[in-house]
């Protein structure tokens, strides 16, 4: 009977050990962000972003479990563990492909959802509640950093709050040494940034879409290789 390839066996172990370490790092950092108040304040995380952190905790946990199954299955030549690893990785690959297809099919709904989120944020810019003022101060910093004004309709998004100074600077004030017509414009006698922050956010998402697709494609290739190696090792153990 043919034996188990030592090269494949230890390659599988090393691959899954790295996989397990990555999962541990993701899980550890996510839990730290979730429970540490200092981390939340430093990173300016609000309640709406906790869902993303919780998702990372789940992803890190799954990667750790799969890495453990792959390591033990390879080193102990356990068909059961290798089969569980194969099934888990296959499910992740299917979910990943399904998510990509659904994202492409429901792209218009996603854009509509983004616009609705921006409209809700516009309401906060025009509000005068204490909670909204905290959001307005953070958003003004975003405007200064990205040299933009408002979200959908420029300074009109601020409503009556446009004439209110938040902090040291006035809202949307264009502060560059050599203002150009492409960057700044006049509104109610004030020099303000011309581009809306909604356009900045949209451009950012579109520019990073290729990076996300590249990462997803790279992960899919790694997952397919992992499936191939695990099933090959499984078959070798069965023939042993």
88 vs 50 pLDDT, higher one? 88
Q: What confidence tens digit (pLDDT) does each residue in 90-139 have?
A: 988 888 788 777 767 766 676 777 778 888 888 888 888 888 888 888 88
The confidence band for 225, taking pLDDT boundaries of 50, 70 and 90, is confident
Mean pLDDT in residue range 7-20: 84
Percent of the chain with pLDDT strictly greater than 90: 2
Going by C-alpha positions, the residue among 108, 112, 135 that lies closest to residue 124 is 135
Can you give the pLDDT at residue 52?
64
pLDDT band at 74 (very low <50, low <70, confident <90, very high): confident
What is the secondary structure of 141-153 as a DSSP string? HHHHHHT---SSS
Contacts 24+ apart (CB under 8 A), 230-233: 230/12, 230/70, 230/73, 230/82, 230/85, 230/86, 230/89, 231/82, 231/86, 232/8, 233/4, 233/5, 233/8, 233/9, 233/12, 233/73, 233/74, 233/77, 233/82
Average pLDDT, rounded, for the chain: 80
Q: Is residue 2 predicted with pLDDT exceeding 60? A: no
Q: For residues 1-11, give the mean pLDDT.
A: 72
Residues 24-62 have pLDDT tens digits of 888 888 787 777 666 555 444 444 456 667 777 888 888
Instruction: Note the pLDDT of residue 32.
Output: 79
Q: Select the highest-mean-pLDDT range: 32-46, 136-150, 161-175.
A: 136-150
- Domain ranges in the chain are 6-108+208-239, 128-200
DSSP states along the chain: -----HHHHHHHHHHHHHHHHHHHHHHHHHHHHHH-HHHHHHTT--GGGHHHHHHHHHHHHHHHHHHHHHHHHHHTT-HHHHHHHHHHHHHHHHHHHHHHHHHHHTHHHHHHHHHHHHHHHHHHHH--SHHHHHHHHHHHHHHHHHT---SSSGGGGGGGGGGSEETTEETTB---SS--TTTEEEETTEEEE-S-HHHHHHHHHHHHHHHHHHHHHHHHHHHHHHHHHHHHHHHHHHH-
For residue 77, the model assigns a pLDDT of 84
């Amino acid at each position: 009977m043919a034996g188990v390839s030592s090269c494949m066996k230890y390659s599988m172990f090393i691959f899954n050990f790295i996989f397990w370490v990555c999962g541990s790092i993701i899980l550890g950092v996510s839990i730290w962000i979730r429970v540490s108040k200092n981390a939340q304040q430093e990173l300016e995380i609000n309640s709406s972003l906790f869902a993303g952190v919780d998702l990372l905790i789940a992803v890190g946990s799954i990667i750790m479990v799969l890495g453990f199954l792959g390591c033990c299955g390879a080193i102990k030549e356990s068909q059961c563990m290798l089969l569980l690893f194969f099934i888990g990785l296959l499910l992740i690959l299917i979910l990943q492909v399904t998510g990509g297809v659904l994202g492409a099919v429901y792209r218009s709904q996603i854009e509509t959802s983004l616009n609705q989120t921006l409209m809700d944020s516009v309401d906060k810019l025009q509000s005068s509640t204490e909670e909204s003022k905290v959001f307005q101060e953070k958003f003004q910093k975003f405007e200064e950093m990205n040299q933009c004004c408002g979200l959908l309709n420029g300074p009109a998004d601020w409503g009556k709050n446009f004439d209110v100074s938040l902090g040291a600077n006035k809202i949307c004030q264009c502060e560059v040494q050599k203002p150009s017509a492409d960057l700044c414009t006049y509104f109610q006698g004030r020099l303000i940034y011309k581009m809306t922050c909604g356009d900045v956010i949209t451009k950012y998402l579109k520019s990073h879409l290729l990076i996300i697709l590249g990462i997803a494609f790279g992960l899919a290739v790694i997952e397919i290789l992992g499936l191939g190696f695990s099933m090959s090792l499984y078959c070798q153990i069965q023939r042993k």
